Amino acid sequence: MGRIETSQNFVVICCNKTVLVYDRRNGDSRTLSLNIPETPEESKKATDSDETTAQDMLFCSKNQVVCARISQDEKYVAVACEPKTVTVWCTQSWSLQHTHNLVKRPVSVDISSDSKVILVADKTGDVYHFPLKGGELEETSVCDDRQEMSPESDSQGNGVQKNDVPALLGHLSMLLDVAISLDSRFIITCDRDEKIRVSHYPNSYNIQSFCLGHREFVTQINLLPNHGNLLLSCSGDGTLRLWEYEIGQCVAVMDTREHSSPILHHFTKYSEERIKQSAEATRYLPDYPPLRCFALHPCAEDEYLVATMLDKIPSVLLYKIKDRKLHYLSTTSLEGLPLALAWLDSKTLLVQEESEEQPLSVYQCEEDKLSRLKEHTLISLGMNFKQFFSEGGPGGVNMDILYKQRYDNVAEYLKKKEERIALTKAVEAGLVPAPPKKGRWE
C-alpha cells in the first residue's frame, strides 16, 4: 500500500484525491488531478451500484487515491484509485498512457522490474495483470499540471482500456498487497487471513509455497532489493517477519511489543473512545495496535534500514536487517499521527502526518536515531500543497475493519447448562417441584 513512492529522481505522494509529484533533479513539482466523483449519484455510478460491505469500508474516506508505484526504470508511474481505475503515466512528458477500468476496487499495484507488466490486486482477492509499453516511449503531448483523467476521454496515450482480462489468480480473502519477484518468476500476495502466497508467473495456478506464521492480517510485503530471495512482511499481530519466500521459511521475527510499551497509552485511549461510541468494538479491537506499514532501504551491502509505524500511535520505530536478523535501533516520537513513510536515501526519512499545517515531515538518521529537520524542500512542498492533503478527510487505511470479530457462542450455552444442573439438584433435594415433562407432540 504505497501512499509515498520514492526513486532516484522522483517522489510521488498520494494526497487523498490528488497525486503530488516532486522532481528531485530540478525541484519542480506538479499535481496529477483525478476526476473523482463528488456527488452521491456519481459515486454510486462509479461503483456500479455495489452494496456497501466491509471491503468498501477499508479506506477512511471513499473515492481516494489508494496507492502509487514507480517503475524501476523511472519511465512510468502507476496510480490506483478507489473508483475502480488504474492509470499509468509517462514521466518523460507526464502524459496519460493508459487507463484500466477494473471490476472491483484496487488495493495495491506493482510493476515488474523490466517495466513490461503491471499487477493490480483488488479487495475481493483477485489479481490482474496488464501490459506496459516496452522499449522507448513514443512521443506524446505534454499533459497540463491539472489534467483530468476522464473515462470518456481517450485523447492522451492509448486512452481507456476496458478490463476484459481474466483474473490471474484469486484468494478467498481480501488482498492487502501484491509484489512480483525481481526475476518475474513469482507473484507474492498477502491477505486478511494471515497468509502470504507465492505463485508462479504467469502460471499462477502453480503455487510455489505459503509463508505461514502471522496471526493477523498481513498489511505489507516487500522484497529486499539486494537479496531477491528474501521478503519482509508486517502484520496486524505487531510483528515484522523476514522470509525465504521460495521455501516458505521464516528466518527472523521481530515483535514490536518489546519496544513500544511506553507509547501504548495512545492506542489504549483510542480503544476506549471507540468502545464508548459502540460496544461492538470490543468484539474486534485488540490489546495491541497493528503495524500499518514499513519503509525499507539498503544502507550497506548486507544491511537494510526499516522504519515502521503502529496504528494510532504518533511514533516511528527504527530497525535494521543485518546478517538475516532484525535488530531494534530506536523509537522516535512524532508531532502528529503518521499516515505513510518512505526513505529518500539511507539517511533521510519522509513521513506524511495527520496535520493541516505541516503534512510532510523529514527526519535525519544519525547514529541509529531519527531527528526532525526544521527545513527541507519537501516540508515546504507539503505546506504549499496542504489543501490537497486535507481534501476529502483523513487519508490512509482504516485498520479496524480488517480485524475479524470475535463471537462468544459458548457462554450462553454454559449458563443454561448450569441452570439445568441447579434445577435438577433442587428437585432431587425436594426444594422445588419437578417441572412437567413435555412430550414430543405437546
pLDDT of 52 over the 50 cut: no
Strand order, beta sheet including 249-255: 218-224, 227-235, 239-244, 249-255
Closest CA to 81 of 59, 61, 68, 66: 66
Of the listed ranges 59-73, 96-110, 282-296, the one predicted with least confidence:
59-73
CATH code, domain carrying 153: 2.130.10.10
Q: What is the pLDDT of residue 262?
A: 87
pLDDT tens track for 32-48:
866 654 434 444 544 44
Closest CA to 347 of 334, 363, 328, 326: 363
The chain-wide mean pLDDT, for the chain, equals 84
Q: What is the pLDDT of residue 411?
A: 79
Q: What is the pLDDT of residue 223?
A: 96
- pTM score, two decimals? 0.81
pLDDT tens track for 84-112:
899 999 999 888 888 899 999 999 999 99
Q: What is the pLDDT of residue 403?
A: 84
Strands 325-333 and 338-345: unpaired
Could you please report the per-residue DSSP string of 135-159? Answer: SSPPP-PPPPTT----TT---STT-
Q: Is residue 409 part of a domain?
A: no
Confidence bin at 138 (pLDDT 50/70/90) = very low
Distance CA 84, CA 124 (A): 12
Distance CA 55, CA 106 (A): 11
Q: Is residue 436 part of a domain?
A: no
Return the sign of the alpha-carbon dihedral for residues 235, 368, 296, 231.
negative
* Residue appearing with cell numbers 505522494: 13
Q: What is the pLDDT of residue 136?
A: 35
Confidence bin at 213 (pLDDT 50/70/90) = very high
By percentage, how much of the chain surpasses pLDDT 70? 83
pLDDT of 21 over the 90 cut: yes
Q: What is the pLDDT of residue 260?
A: 86
Closest CA to 36 of 92, 80, 91: 80
Closest CA to 84 of 48, 131, 41, 58: 48
Tally of domains in the chain: 1
Q: Which of 59-63, 274-278, 365-369, 413-417 has maximum average pLDDT?
A: 365-369
By percentage, how much of the chain surpasses pLDDT 90? 55
Confidence bin at 20 (pLDDT 50/70/90) = very high
- The C-alpha R_g of the chain, in whole angstroms, comes to 25
Q: What is the pLDDT of residue 315?
A: 94
pLDDT of 401 over the 90 cut: no
Stretch 429-436: mean pLDDT: 85
Q: Is residue 418 part of a domain?
A: no
Closest CA to 13 of 68, 60, 61: 68
**What residues make up the domain containing 351?**
4-404
Give every CB contact of residue 214 below 8 A, 6+ residues apart in sequence: 194, 196, 233, 235, 236, 237, 239, 241
Q: What is the pLDDT of residue 35?
A: 60
Q: Is residue 426 part of a domain?
A: no
Phi-psi region of 430 (alpha: psi -120 to 50; beta: other; left: phi over 0): left
Confidence bin at 158 (pLDDT 50/70/90) = very low
Confidence bin at 408 (pLDDT 50/70/90) = confident
Question: Is residue 132 a contact partner of residue 118, using CB atoms and an 8 Å limit?
Answer: yes
Distance CA 186, CA 397 (A): 27
Stretch 348-370: mean pLDDT: 93
Return the sign of the alpha-carbon dihedral for residues 389, 72, 222, 371.
negative
pLDDT of 229 over the 60 cut: yes
Q: Which of 115-129, 255-269, 385-399 has maximum average pLDDT?
A: 115-129
Q: Is residue 435 part of a domain?
A: no
Q: Is residue 415 part of a domain?
A: no
Q: What is the pLDDT of residue 256?
A: 93
pLDDT of 120 over the 90 cut: yes
Per residue in 93-128, is it b (16+ CB within 10 Å) or e — as a string?
bbbbbbbbebebbbbbbbbbbebebbbbbbbbbbbb
Stretch 302-317: mean pLDDT: 94
Q: Is residue 437 part of a domain?
A: no
Cell of 404: 475479524
Residue 151 CB neighbours (<10 A): 14
* Residue appearing with cell numbers 526504470: 73
Q: Is residue 191 part of a domain?
A: yes
